[in-house]
A and B are shown apart, each in its own frame.
Chain A
Amino acid sequence: MASDPTEKQPPTVVTQRTDAPRVRRSVVPALAVAHATKIYKARGQGRGATVTAVDDVSFTIEPGAAIGLVGASGSGKSTLAKLITASERPTSGTIRFGDIEVDRLRSGGRRAYHRRVQMVFQDPYGALNPLHTVEYTVMRPCQNILGMSAREASRRVHELLETVGLNPAAQYASKLPHQLSGGQRQRVVVARALACDPDVIVADEPVSMLDVSLRAGVLSLLGRLRDERGLSLLYITHDLLSARVVTDQILVLNGGRVVESGVTKQVLQHPQDEYTKRLLDAVATPFPTNRSSIAA
């Protein structure tokens, strides 16, 4: 099981490792995507027109691994996230989590699946109900999915808030979303995703809406959760810097297809595909050596 969330937290600097995390869960299966394709009907372009959002994508997320999906808008990253979280079904191909056939789930099975696979959304302003307190928001999955009593759920909420760095928990529990900063809200979203003790977290651009000054905090939280709880992470982004910090492997998507994949550092330092090079060149950094691209 996961480590005790009340235990002492590790030091600030998280240095990522390629070996397996400290805590291994007993029987966590891999999440395997095989030849997944998603075709949508296109509107306004005549009958029978289609858009292929995801085109024959295959990859596996081993327990405890952190995989990045990177690409520009429209590259199919978020559609893949929807397929993996069972919000959409692939047109063809399969998604398996152990013996769960994710691509065939119906409501009951989907609930059981969501106990194991949770999502962190992009917009922490839109992902929290503004009328509910932090405690209520984080309590719901404890009660709905784990079937806890209100008392147990409330205790768990406090543990979770401490886990995500919202200390003292009692002070944050009673707050409403508008009383929190963007980074604190995103921590609440992460706490809610952790509530049912999932094996996999799918994070879709979790820091893109946050100030740069808050990003490092949320990224190090994701890294720490992976280390302490043996969570696997699917990290979706167009921001190569954050992908570099959180993931060990990345898949570069363009037009729904995987154009390049491999160890994150390797892919970013020695990109082979033209599209990966374009993504890298588009990154704006404030350091004089790399400054030039726009001004040129």
Chain B
Amino acid sequence: MMATTTGPTLLEATGINVVYEPARGVHIWSVRDVNLTLRPGEFVGLVGESGCGKSTLGFALTRLLAPPAKLQSGQILFDGTDISLLSGEDLRRQRRGGFAIVLQSGMNALNPVRTIAHHFGDILRAHERGREESSKHEVRRRGIELLGKVHLDESVLNRYPHELSGGMRQRVSIALALALEPRMIVFDEPTTALDVIAQKAVMRTIKELQRENGFTAILISHDLGIVLEATDRVIVMYAGEVVEDQPSRALGSGLHHPYTEALLRCYADPRADEIHLGGIPGTPPDLSLSLAGCPFAPRCPLAEDICRREDPPLTPLGDGLAACHVRAREASSGPEDIATVRQPQTPFTPDTADSTEVSHGQ
């Protein structure tokens, strides 16, 4: 790990807005006014349903947005440098020792007609500091070293992506992301395509690397279970906005944003005596429109008039922040009031598309 002179914050993003602007068709405001501060060595999870802007935000923070996506406004201070306006050589120089991304599917992120060794050579040459660094011998040496970090054998260097299992490909992607010794790595759904056993093994490796190398990690996933097991802090996104920001250990107990609570109800322990598996009725809002009020209000069991009128700001809740009018009012009033609203009887409509609850127990 290279020596760094980072202060208490590594990344400070303010007022991030990302819009997809296709030549024809409607514009989609995918990330809306997001503020985010990350400390060095922090492990942060970014969760939410598909299409809530988590990956888009991850791409914006690593400056990988490509047309039709555009960072419409916002400032991204990475270690004191505003990277939101950098381009070309200046941006490339920031990546070395700066930030990297691990993409969702190792298969799609690797070139199918090139060996793994070629991938390492590609990255090291593109960001070479000295001639000798990109020599064939040196690339192999670095490749073996990096593969070792993700528990892969050096024989993998001579293989093609299709010869590797899903878990191995994902490990190769992680090794590639480590190649330039970044201080921040975004993991975009790193285990989604893997089965449970491989999933757990890959997450263990990520956690281990993060602890050893001390990089800041952002784990993007729709699986709250995985995120809570691995991270220190969880950010819940809905409709392009951050709706909750909590320490991971606090999530699952106490009051939360109704969306976070609904997500938690989608999980159960398969060993439990009784299983109640919830769904979230309805679908996320159309992001081509500007939204009046809280974006979750149409699906929210607690929604009141004010929720449909005003978009709630992030305010303190428990050990973190949440954007909810109802919860904010409860947090500022006495605990007796909380007891009365604590367990909403969710008025789920019976078995219309994508809503319902399954329960099982004997």
Contact = CB atoms under 8 A, between A and B. Distances in A.
B204 A279 contact: no
A13 interface: yes
A245 B275 CA distance: 7
21 contacts: A12-B349, A73-B166, A73-B198, A74-B165, A167-B352, A184-B353, A211-B50, A212-B222, A214-B354, A215-B277, A216-B277, A216-B279, A217-B356, A241-B268, A241-B275, A245-B277, A284-B200, A286-B251, A286-B264, A292-B229, A294-B203
Interface string B325-362: 00000000000000000000000111111111111111
Interface stretch (A14-22, A93-101, A137-145): A14-22
Interface of A: 9-16, 18, 44, 72-74, 165-167, 181-184, 187, 211-217, 219-221, 223-224, 238-241, 243-245, 265, 268-269, 278-288, 290-295
A193 B141 CA distance: 53
Nearest to A221: B351
Contacts of A291: 228-229
B280 interface: yes
A268 B275 CA distance: 13
Contacts of B354: 181, 183-184, 213-214, 217
A251 to B, nearest CB: 16
A281 B200 CA distance: 9
Contact of B361 (A15, A73, A219): A15
A265 B268 CA distance: 14
Interface in B106-155: none
B144 to A, nearest CB: 23
Given A241-B277, A282-B200, A287-B252, A9 B362 contact: no
B55 to A, nearest CB: 13
B356 A286 contact: no
Interface of B: 49-50, 163, 165-166, 194-200, 203-204, 207, 222-230, 249, 251-253, 262-264, 266-271, 273, 275, 277-280, 283, 348-362
A284 B252 CA distance: 14
Contact of A268 (B200, B225, B271): B271
A281 B197 CA distance: 9
Contact of A244 (B207, B252, B270, B352): B270
Given A214-B279, A220-B357, 18 more contacts: A12-B350, A12-B351, A211-B49, A211-B50, A212-B224, A212-B266, A216-B278, A220-B351, A240-B196, A241-B268, A241-B270, A278-B197, A284-B200, A284-B226, A287-B267, A290-B269, A293-B229, A294-B229
B196 A211 contact: no
Contacts of B264: 286
A286 B224 contact: yes
A245 B224 contact: no
B204 A18 contact: no
Given A72-B196, A212-B224, A214-B279, A220 B361 contact: no
A47 B200 CA distance: 35
B350 A213 contact: no
Contacts of B348: 12
Contacts of B362: 16, 18, 265
B223 A295 contact: no
